[in-house]
């Protein structure tokens, strides 16, 4: 049986798990589910003893590899289901940021915020489908 994730997901997880209690259940998620992914929510709801995670490299690992940046030298900020304004606190000269976007409109929204905040000369690189065939 396939059950699609509802949106918003986090508040629906307890009900989904309860509906399938006593059954072996697999969750398929892209990338590294422990890095801004579903694994945290599942562990908090079901308990980590009930959870086996089989991760794939995260988009952050792929992005750092593509850009030639050491993973430990960047700050990662997820803008998925979070206010774009959270980016303002992370803006500092020389800082390398990796932003996880919510959709195809994210780069334009980030660029607009950077211009408005006085960071209009910032170089932006947009990466998509990291780890995929394209």
**One pLDDT digit (tens) per residue for the chain, 134 residues:** 888 888 888 889 999 989 988 888 888 887 778 877 888 888 888 887 778 888 888 888 999 999 999 999 999 998 988 899 999 999 999 999 999 998 899 999 999 999 999 999 999 999 988 888 87
Q: How far is CA 101 from CA 1, 26, 128, in A?
A: 30, 26, 10
Residues 6 or more apart whose Cβ sits within 8 Å of residue 40? 34
CB 20 within 8 A of CB 32: no
Is pTM, for the whole model, over 0.85? no
Residues 6 or more apart whose Cβ sits within 8 Å of residue 26? none
CA distance linking residue 101 with residue 77, whole number of Å:
9
Q: Give the per-residue pLDDT at 118.
A: 96
Q: Give the per-residue pLDDT at 75.
A: 94
């Amino acid at each position: 049986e396939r059950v699609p994730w509802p949106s918003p997901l986090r508040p629906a997880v307890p009900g989904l798990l309860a509906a399938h209690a006593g059954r072996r259940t697999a969750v398929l998620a892209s990338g590294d589910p422990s890095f801004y992914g579903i694994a945290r929510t599942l562990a908090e709801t079901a308990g980590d003893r009930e959870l086996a995670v089989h991760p794939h490299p995260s988009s952050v690992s792929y992005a750092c590899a593509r850009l030639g940046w050491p993973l430990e030298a960047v700050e990662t900020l997820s803008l998925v289901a979070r206010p774009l304004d959270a980016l303002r606190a992370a803006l500092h000269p020389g800082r390398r940021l990796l932003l996880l976007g919510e959709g195809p409109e994210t780069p334009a929204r980030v660029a607009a915020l950077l211009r408005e905040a006085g960071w209009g000369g910032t170089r932006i690189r947009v990466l998509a489908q990291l780890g995929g065939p394209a």
